Amino acid sequence: MDMIERYGLSNIVNARGPYTPLGVSRSPAAVAEAAGEALRHYFVLEELQTAADRELARYAGAEAGTVTHCVAAAITLSVTAAMTGGAPCAVARLPDTEGMADRAVLPAGHAVDYGHPITQAIRLSGAVPVLAGTDRACNADDLERAIDPDRTCCVLLVSSRLTRGAPIDLADAVAVAHRHGLPAFIDGAAQDLQLAALLETGADLVLISGQKYLASPTAGLVIGRRKWVDAVRAQEKGIGRPMKATKESLAGVLAAIEVRSDTDTASWCAAQAERMAAFVQSLGHLDGVMGFVLPDPGGAPIGRVHLRIDPLRARYDAASLEAALRTGTPPIHVMPHRLDKNEIVLEIVQLSDAEIGTIAARLEALMSRAGAR
Ligand SMILES: *Cc1c(COP(=O)(O)O)cnc(C)c1O
């Protein structure tokens, strides 16, 4: 790619999944073309958002949908929607929350950091995050206790690999919020493949990053109940202004949900399983490396390749192998979250066969050099 040379950028292999600092994802040609085409045109933005509303609703089988700049923005704006209900004077007043219920309850183990703390995304709205339960567990009673009838505006739940503690039954948690007359929102940023299940919990809004597995330009999809989607849109004339969707992201999202609708997920998953198995097999002869495939712990139909390293036989531990991959040419980035278990984890679903070959060749070269040293 031209830009890499012109600006002196790194030509990386990203086996780390939809990771924001590495460019998140690669869009299919149809999506890139739609976004590029939109850049060459004027639109009545309101009409484009209304088309996105209609198409997202149809795609998800939900009442309504809208697009914000990203999910971080969608979190802020959902909380804002819960505080204002879309009423123009309240929208105008934020982030001053005087006179509004302004506590957003979040299970403590869901106070994740996806590049910044989610509690900061809540605070940006003017609301105050209140953590329910502990890092190890949060049950319905814990949630119930954290809800102050006069002060609480919503309950936020996160569905992700980053969450801590015992899994929470999202449907039960949503029911607790509804018993108190509060909306419940689910941050499902990287969980678009589970969108239907997240909506089935009864959540009022599910927030999805368009640029992760859906591979659109950067966008936060806000999908669910008409009332709350409209209240999110009402912030466009308030603190939502710096969080707005662009015309190219709207066009890209529309194209991306078309591409997804035309994709047979079951056969895509089967093909990916085959590629992962072949990759693991190609590493079978490496001494001290045991490869296996595990599903996404959050339940998404995305497998990942785990390489368990035996430091005595491989002469690398996982941390030094990760560093060697990352600092080589080309730099190869892997998921580091299991290095302390002496595992490197690779997500290869978005990679070309050539890139997968590059990773296998590098591992082989590193290991044989290690054997000789
Ligand atoms: C990626 C992520 C976000 C942020 O999404 P953006 O669209 O990049 O703003 C929020 N929550 C979770 C759990 C994430 O994984």
> Which tens digit of pLDDT belongs to each residue from 35-66?
999 999 999 999 999 999 999 999 999 999 99
CB atoms within 10 A of CB 159: 26
If one residue of 77, 110, 159, 160 were mutated to test the ligand 1 pocket, choosing by the most ligand atoms within 8 A of its CB, it would be 160
Average pLDDT, the chain: 95
| Residue 297 pLDDT grade (very low, low, confident, very high; cuts 50, 70, 90) | confident
The span from the CA of 250 to the CA of 228, in Å, is 19
| Residue 372 pLDDT grade (very low, low, confident, very high; cuts 50, 70, 90) | low
109-134 mean pLDDT: 97
pLDDT at residue 368, as a whole number: 82
pLDDT at residue 298, as a whole number: 79
Q: Could you identify the atom of ligand 1 that is nearest to the CA of residue 162? A: 13
Closest of 228, 288, 209 to residue 83, by C-alpha: 228
Q: 14-37: per-residue pLDDT in tens?
A: 999 999 999 999 999 999 999 999
pLDDT at residue 159, as a whole number: 87
| Residue 299 pLDDT grade (very low, low, confident, very high; cuts 50, 70, 90) | confident
Q: What is the distance in angstroms between the CA of the first residue and the CA of the last residue of the chain? A: 36
Q: Ligand 1 atom 12: the closest Cα is on which residue?
A: 189
Percent of the chain topping pLDDT 90: 94
Q: 142-200: per-residue pLDDT in tens?
A: 999 999 999 999 999 998 888 999 999 999 999 999 999 999 999 999 999 999 999 99
Q: Ligand 1 atom 6: the closest Cα is on which residue?
A: 71
Per-residue CA distances from 334 to 17, 115, 131, 331 (Å): 8, 17, 32, 10
305-312 mean pLDDT: 96
Q: Are strands 343-346 and 103-107 parallel, antiparallel or unpaired?
A: unpaired
DSSP H helices in 131-287: 140-146, 170-179, 195-200, 226-234, 247-261, 265-282
Tell me, in angstroms, the distance from the centre of ligand 1 to residue 208's CA. 8
pLDDT at residue 18, as a whole number: 95
Starting at the edge strand found earlier in the chain, the sheet holding 205-209 runs 64-68, 220-224, 205-209, 184-187, 152-158, 103-107, 128-132
Q: Could you identify the atom of ligand 1 that is nearest to the CA of residue 158? A: 13
Q: Could you identify the atom of ligand 1 that is nearest to the CA of residue 24? A: 8
If one residue of 68, 75, 187 were mutated to test the ligand 1 pocket, choosing by the most ligand atoms within 8 A of its CB, it would be 187
Per-residue CA distances from 161 to 7, 94, 167, 256, 273 (Å): 34, 32, 11, 24, 20
pLDDT at residue 239, as a whole number: 97
The span from the CA of 216 to the CA of 209, in Å, is 9
> Which residues line the pocket of ligand 1, CB cutoff 6 A?
20, 70-72, 112, 114, 158, 160, 162, 187, 189-190, 209, 220
Tell me, in angstroms, the distance from the centre of ligand 1 to residue 114's CA. 6
| Sign of the torsion formed by the C-alpha atoms of 114, 178, 245 and 127 | negative
CB 78 within 8 A of CB 205: yes
Residue 370 has pLDDT above 70, yes or no: no
Tell me, in angstroms, the distance from the centre of ligand 1 to residue 275's CA. 27
Q: Could you identify the atom of ligand 1 that is nearest to the CA of residue 163? A: 13
Residues whose CB is less than 8 angstroms from the CB of residue 358 and which lie 6 or more positions away in sequence, other chains included: 13, 330, 332
The span from the CA of 337 to the CA of 160, in Å, is 13
Tell me, in angstroms, the distance from the centre of ligand 1 to residue 317's CA. 30
pLDDT at residue 122, as a whole number: 98
